[in-house]
Structure 1
Amino acid sequence: MTSPASPVLVIGECVADIVRTDGTPDVVHPGGSPANLAYGLARLGRPAVLLTELGPDANGRLIRAHLESAGVEVRAAEVARTPSAVVRLDGHGRAEYTFDIGWTLPPTELDAPPAAVHLGSIGAVTDPGAASALALVERWRGRAQISYDPNVRPALMGRRAEAVRRVERLVALSDLVKASDEDLAWLYPGEAAEAVAERWLALGPAVVAVTLGAGGAFGLSRRGGRRQVPAVPVAVADTVGAGDSFMAAFLHARMAGTDLTGCLVQAVTAAALTVSRPGANPPSAAELTAALARRPQPEAP
């Protein structure tokens, strides 16, 4: 059995994001979708353990110090060099990625039961490490809440049909699934996001949430039906880490027993705070609470 103080186990990659904008020097930010999520959870006061890989280099030290500064427990297998990604920003702050990354996570045992297990992004689809990650998810399914975010990176997903097979297997193992409309458009070209979310819900999750960028987000729940909330208007610095901040806030709220609408409101508010400043810089609990107090609350259904 898990206790309220049991941590969330987050499985996946750390990445040094080398942010490149024309006319300015490169800036290195700690990144990687699972790492961002673990950091976001810890910033909200939710204990988190990150199972990952890091190199014995400056980028690895930067990322570890960043995560530990928020209270994340980092359990990292050592690799030759820390994975990296060149992040190019367009005039609207939207990010495009070029990766230098591998994922070789060895089989791992846990010291204590987690409250939840989160898997996603590159660590969920890149072999041989993906097999070790999947084994942990299968081991803890039914004893801990499982959450999943495919965070599609087309350059690393391989053939689309195989990527869809892997993604749908993890959807079926999960209690909570989050994806962006862009993720769904790559996985299922020409299909409406709503139709895909309904199909995913039928595979087994209790909740499927879909982010819509400036359109906010919607969620489907076996118990709560469909809910949608608008985005929070902000001046965008960049979109790096926005989806991870959304996922961290949504998972944190759900673990606290918040209803679907409340989870969506907290998540889009956290994402808005993140895009308003450079890099994957999710809000603290105090920042999110203050932002929520300023936001008009949706009417109850």
Structure 2
Amino acid sequence: MFVVVGEALVDLVGQRGGRTWVAHPGGSPANVALGLARLGNPVTLVTRLGRDAFGEMVRAHLEDSGVQIDAGSDGEVATSLAIATLAAGVASYDFRIEWDLGDLAPLPVEARCLHTGSLATALTPGNGPVIDLLEREHERGRATISYDPNVRPALLGAPEAALADIERLVALADVVKVSDEDLRWLYPGRPDEDVARAWLASGPALVVITRGGEGVFAVTRSLEVRRPAVPIDLVDTVGAGDSFSSGLLDGLRRADLLGGPRREALAQVDRATLLSIVDAAGMVAAITCSRPGANPPTREELDAAFERRA
């Protein structure tokens, strides 16, 4: 079972200079939960949804794909918005968000993986309880901790102000997925592979960098792999990184590499297994990029895409 903690919101997506906007359910952690559910995984999302039309739209979107919404996720505030402006298919964001979950309960005993990141770990006051949960679960050692910084510069201020908390969370995680764009903002001028190696040395078993059209770099204690991007007809990049995360975590589950007792096996994953997992995650992201919004594939769609490439 997966537990995902973090924001669910509505993406208002429009072309730069245009007057038409389309509402898509979104939010980085919610997108990861959606992707995991569509790939056939049991997943619970701990979030905050307003009791409004946008909140009902997000809830229905997630539950229709099999995501279980935690019972404490209803809030009094309005559902948060991310205004995504597209230029050549690439999204930039402006946010209208409030984030506060209050105290968080320990994970259920059946949970094998906790995923979080993005605004949930960055915005006060809600980031405090999320970070506390990660620290407690790291100490308990029963579940794999997955983290994606998914930085939003418009909400974080200067990189120097965000970096200490991000590095702290990296050190608590077992699996870290990060984009090269995030790393360029956090570490200007520093090679992303150097950052990945430094992050790995701080605690994780696996660090993966997504590079858009340049593919993927993944590093463990004994392996470094580089994979090309999957060729696609790009529609937009909304939710691409989150889809990759869901594909990555799904692949780790299918390889029996999740859960605290499997941490050493994860750190020692062999090259063939890691390549298979990374390639599948890349395909999940590519399918998402081939259609509008954060709309990750089902297991059947993913299998069909691989069959077409065979």
TM-score by length of 2: 0.90
Aligned partner of residue 81 in structure 1, secondary structure: coil
Map of 2:12 onto structure 1: 18
d(CA) in 2 for partners of 1:231 and 1:73? Answer: 32
d(CA) in 1 for partners of 2:84 and 2:200? Answer: 33
Mapped pair 1:175 → 2:171: no
Mapped pair 1:61 → 2:56: yes
Map of 1:204 onto structure 2: 203
1:115-264 equivalences in 2 (<5 Å): 115-141=112-138, 142-223=141-222, 225-257=223-255, 259-264=273-278
Give the alignment partner of residue 274 of structure 1, picking from 288, 296, 309.
288
TM-superposed CA distance for 1:162, in Å, is 2.6
- Give the counterpart letter for 1:13 in structure 2: E
Structure 1, residues 164-190: CA drift from partner, whole Å, max 9, x if none? 101000100000000000000000011
- Give the counterpart letter for 2:116 in structure 1: L
d(CA) in 2 for partners of 1:23 and 1:180? Answer: 28
TM-superposed CA distance for 1:291, in Å, is 1.4
What percentage of residue pairs aligned between the two structures are identical?
Answer: 48
Aligned partner of residue 47 in structure 2, secondary structure: strand
Listed as ranges, the gaps of 5+ residues in structure 2 are 257-272
d(CA) in 2 for partners of 1:140 and 1:222? Answer: 22
Give the alignment partner of residue 43 of structure 1, picking from 38, 61, 65.
38
Aligned partner of residue 48 in structure 2, secondary structure: strand
TM-superposed CA distance for 1:25, in Å, is 2.0
Structure with the higher helix share, 1 or 2: 2
Residues 199 and 207, structure 2, Cα contact 8 Å, conserved in 1: yes
d(CA) in 2 for partners of 1:111 and 1:250? Answer: 21
Give the alignment partner of residue 304 of structure 2, picking from 290, 293, 299.
290
How many correspondences in the alignment? 288
Map of 2:268 onto structure 1: none
Mapped pair 1:74 → 2:73: no
TM-score by length of 1: 0.93
Map of 2:90 onto structure 1: 94
Aligned partner of residue 183 in structure 1, secondary structure: helix
**Deviation >4 Å, runs of 4+:** none
d(CA) in 2 for partners of 1:148 and 1:8? Answer: 13
Aligned partner of residue 69 in structure 2, secondary structure: strand
What RMSD over aligned residues (CA atoms) do the two structures have, in Å?
1.3
Listed as ranges, the gaps of 5+ residues in structure 1 are 1-6, 297-301
TM-superposed CA distance for 1:138, in Å, is 1.6
Residues 242 and 272, structure 1, Cα contact 8 Å, conserved in 2: yes
d(CA) in 2 for partners of 1:24 and 1:279? Answer: 18
- Give the counterpart letter for 1:168 in structure 2: E
Residues 16 and 83, structure 1, Cα contact 8 Å, conserved in 2: yes
After superposition, the Cα gap between the structure-2 partners of 1:185 and 1:111, relative to the gap in structure 1 and judged at 3 Å, is: closer
- Give the counterpart letter for 1:42 in structure 2: A
